[in-house]
Amino acid sequence: MPKVGVTKATKSFTLTMSTLAWLDEYCIKKNKKMSAVINDLINELRKQTEAPKYNLYWCTSCSDNTVRSLVNDEPVCVVCESIDEGLSRARKQFNLSRQP
Ligand SMILES: [Zn+2]
C-alpha cells in the first residue's frame, strides 16, 4: 500500500560532485534516505518563501504605515494599539472575518 499523499516521481537531475558527496555524508550521519532529506530541504525553502506577508495600513496616530492585529475582533495598530476605525468599518461593510 503506497503512503497517502506520497506520489513517487522518478526524475533525474544533476548535482555537483561536492554537493552529492555532502548529501551522501549527511544522509549517513542522519540515517535518512536521500529523498527524505531533499524533500525536507524543499519543504523548508517553501515555508520560507511562502511566509505570510503582513499588510501595512496607514495609522493616523503614528503617522506611519503599520501592521494591524485583531483585538476583540477590532483591527488595532500594533505600534500604538489604537483601533483602526477605517479598517474596522471596511471589515464590517465587507463582513471580513479573516486576519487583516
Ligand atoms: Zn499606530
Q: What separation in Å is there between the alpha carbon of 34 and the centre of ligand 1? A: 49
Q: What separation in Å is there between the alpha carbon of 51 and the centre of ligand 1? A: 24
Q: What separation in Å is there between the alpha carbon of 63 and the centre of ligand 1? A: 7
Predicted TM-score (pTM) of the model is 0.45
Per the domain annotation, does 34 fall within a domain?
yes
Q: What separation in Å is there between the alpha carbon of 57 and the centre of ligand 1? A: 9
pLDDT score for 11: 80
Query: Is residue 95 scored above 80 in pLDDT?
Result: no
Whole domain around residue 81: which residue ranges? 56-93
* 61-90: pLDDT as tens digits: 999 999 999 999 899 999 999 999 999 998
The region of weakest confidence among 1-10, 52-61, 86-95 is 1-10
Show the cell assigned to 43. 519543504
Count up the domains in the chain and report the number: 2
pLDDT score for 60: 92
pLDDT score for 42: 92
Q: What separation in Å is there between the alpha carbon of 49 and the centre of ligand 1? A: 28
Same domain as 60, residue 89? yes
| Cα–Cα distance, 76 to 57 (Å, whole number) | 10
